[in-house]
Amino acid sequence: MSEDDSLSICNVWKGNTSKIINELEAQIPSHFQIYSDMYKEYLHAIDNIFGTCVLSEKEFFEKLDIDPNFLKNLGKYSDFLSSTCIKQIENYDNYLKWYSQIRASGMKSYEEFVHTMMDSYSKTLSNFSKNIKK
């Protein structure tokens, strides 16, 4: 049997599909690092902007002679908003973990379903091929 006789449509597509998937998988660590680095820079830029504002506005606000009780209450309000924001960040992180697990579980279930369907398809093809005369 020559090499061309052993080729099938499925083998041709499977080989190239596997090459593409392997290349995509190889890129995953790089892509995560790229997005992680960009996100860190974004967060640091925001932090630095507020730091710059504090330095620029410090003298201006000191001259306004703002009531210390107002500043104390503003600090409490800011702490409340910060803790709320941190809780939301943590909740979103937990949601992403849960969502990822659900999606992975769904893909595994789908893969099992496809394997079951392919087994049935293979049996059907086998039954038909028994009836084909060469």
pTM reported for the whole predicted model: 0.60
* Residue 84 in domain: no
Residue 27: domain span: 10-65
Mean pLDDT of the chain: 88
> One-letter amino acid identity for 62?
E
pLDDT attached to residue 123: 92
* Residue 45 in domain: yes
* Residue 20 in domain: yes
* Residue 54 in domain: yes
Cβ atoms within 10 Å of 123's Cβ, excluding its own: 10
Query: Where does the chain show beta strands of DSSP type E?
Result: none
DSSP symbols for 56-91: HHHHHHHHTT--HHHHHHHHHHHHHHHHHHHHHHHH
Pairwise CA distance, residues 38 & 35, whole Å: 5
C-alpha 90, offset from chain centre = 16
* Residue 127 in domain: no
Q: What is the pLDDT of residues 47-104, one digit of tens each?
A: 888 888 777 777 788 788 888 899 899 999 999 999 999 999 999 999 999 999 999 9
* Residue 130 in domain: no
Percent pLDDT > 90 in the chain is 60
Q: Which residues contact 106 (CB under 8 A, 6 or more apart)?
A: none
Whether 1 shows a pLDDT value over 60: the answer reads no
* Residue 33 in domain: yes
* Residue 121 in domain: no
pLDDT attached to residue 3: 54
pLDDT attached to residue 134: 63
Domain count, the chain: 1
Q: What is the pLDDT of residues 11-41, one digit of tens each?
A: 788 888 889 999 999 999 999 999 999 999 9
